[in-house]
Amino acid sequence: MLHALILAGGSGKRFWPLSRRATPKQLLAIAGKRTMIAETVARLRGLVPPSRVHVLTNRSTVAAMRKALPGVPARQIVGEPEGRDTTAAIGLGAALVASRDPDGVMVVLPADHVIEPAAAFRRTLAAAADAAKREGGLYVFGVKPNHPATGYGYIQRGPALTKSRGVRVFKVKRFVEKPDLATAKRYVADGGFLWNAGIFCWRASDILAAIAKYKPAIGAALEKIRASKGSPAVLNREFPRIEKISIDYAVMEKAPDVRMLEAAWGWDDVGSWTSVAAYLKRDAAGNSVAGDFRGVDVSNCLVLSDGHLVAAVGVRDLIIVRTKDATLVCHRDRAQDVKKLVDLLEAEKREAVL
């Protein structure tokens, strides 16, 4: 059977002050009418039923996730004892799937991406799932770049291997870290490099075997969790001991049998406030606005307000986000640095606004 593992443990610091510890990015309706986690589950409808959806999140947000996802069995929304990066999270999810369905295939996807159209997305996932079930291997998804992005990792496409449900499957030649602008421009011109969407598909048993091969200590801990069927006592004992390392470094860049399917759908990881502008109404001056805003000689700004009037005069290229207890003003070019601001607030122990 096909299962889905949704990774929902991120803190969403770049979306402060709207995103907080109790309501991180994935619990916000940033790019639609529903929360991002609810959109992610809905996107799987017709391919993976809620009964086979597994969600990993922070322990502090388990209750909120269960409330946001009433159709997903509560026992399948699991709080990690602590954040240990994606190898631990994916391994835990695979262990839980394998304990329930030893032959199970799983798709792994973040909780906070925007993907359209959903039907095309499901077709590509189904093709990968069929190939994984039939042939084994580790599958990733590449998105054709439409600009030279420096904030994404890239996948260099190798030769075509086969087709699954009419979708071509390629060998991955190599993974490339986030490049500088000149390199990114070269990748786009080359045509053989695609953005790494951070979405995976494989048999649960195959990824557990790969983790055990390249990271034996992690594999041993995951086997104990699998054998215990996710016993809270075993999970609490073993999970915090797992090395903190991403699945890309631990497995994907080492494994010889990694394959890629090209995305036939639009993809946006909505990584900072600048990404949100595309989902808001835009006025004649290029301002993207949600809430009560008035401006004079204001252009190319992103403004969100919880009902309080935001007014501006003679400014451009700003991000202005107003909540009941905090206001962010940031140049659009520095949107990624909102995380640094939150780190500063954490260092100052400003718990009331975190």
Return the H-helix or E-strand segment holding 162. strand 154-164
Domain boundaries, the chain: 2-268, 273-353
Q: Which residues of the chain have pLDDT under 50?
A: none
- pLDDT at site 156: 97
Reading the block at residue 123, the tokens are 């077709």
Q: What is the DSSP letter of 316?
A: B
Are the C-beta atoms of residues 241 and 221 closer than 8 Å to each other? Answer: yes
Q: What 3-state DSSP class applies to 245? A: coil
Are the C-beta atoms of residues 85 and 26 closer than 8 Å to each other? Answer: no
Are the C-beta atoms of residues 239 and 81 closer than 8 Å to each other? Answer: yes
Question: CA nearest 42: which of 113, 98, 91, 127?
Answer: 113
- pLDDT at site 31: 86
Q: What CA–CA distance (Å, rounded) separates 178 from 99? A: 36
Torsion of CA 68, 74, 75, 79, to 10 degrees: 30
Reading the block at residue 85, the tokens are 């990066």
- pLDDT at site 12: 86
Q: Tens of pLDDT along 215-252?
A: 999 999 999 999 999 999 999 999 999 999 999 999 99
Q: Tens of pLDDT along 135-164?
A: 999 999 999 999 999 989 999 999 999 999
Mean pLDDT over each residue of the chain, to the nearest integer: 95
- pLDDT at site 301: 98
What are the residues whose beta carbons fall under 8 Å from the beta carbon of 57, sequence distance 6 or more?
8, 9, 26, 65, 77, 78, 79, 80
* Number of residues in the chain: 354
- pLDDT at site 171: 97
Please identify which residue in the block is written with the tokens 């593992």. Answer: 5
Distance spanning both ends of the chain, measured CA to CA = 40
Which class is 2-268 in CATH?
A: alpha beta
